Amino acid sequence: MNGKRNPALAAVLAAGLLALLLGGCGDKIAIPEPTGLFSVDAYIQDASYADLEPLQVAQAQGSIFVLTADSLTKRDQEYGRIAAVGDLAGPTAMCVDGSGGLVFVYEGDAAEVSWYSTSDLSLLGSSVAAGVQAGVAMATNPVGIEDEPGARTFLYISDPAAGVIHRFAFDDFNGLSPYGILARSDGDAARFVHLPAGLATDSEDSLLVCDADTARNWVIRFVGEPDLTDTTPQGGDQDPWRGHAALFHAPTCVPPAAADFVLGDAATCGQTDWVGGPSDAEGAFSSPRDVAVDGRGRIFVADTGNNRVQVFQGDGLYDLAFGDDEDTPGPASLAVVDVRIGSGAEDVDYAAYVFVVLPQLGEVRKFISSEHYIFLNQEPPPPPN
State the Cα–Cα distance between residues 78 and 140, nearest whole angstrom: 27
DSSP class of residue 151 equals -
Q: What is the pLDDT of residue 254?
A: 92
Query: Which architecture characterizes domain 45-377 according to CATH?
Result: 6 Propeller (2.120)
Domain span(s) for CATH 2.120.10.30 in the chain: 45-377
Three-class SS of residue 328?
Answer: coil
pLDDT band at 163 (very low <50, low <70, confident <90, very high): very high
Average pLDDT of span 69-75: 97
Q: Which tens digit of pLDDT belongs to each residue from 350-361?
A: 999 999 999 999
State the Cα–Cα distance between residues 348 and 350, nearest whole angstrom: 6
Q: What is the pTM of this model?
A: 0.88
Average pLDDT of span 104-119: 97
State the Cα–Cα distance between residues 41 and 349, nearest whole angstrom: 10
* Mean pLDDT value across the chain: 88
State the Cα–Cα distance between residues 44 and 111, nearest whole angstrom: 39
Q: What is the pLDDT of residue 24?
A: 36
State the Cα–Cα distance between residues 166 and 106, nearest whole angstrom: 13
Q: Which tens digit of pLDDT belongs to each residue from 293-322?
A: 999 999 999 999 999 999 999 999 999 999
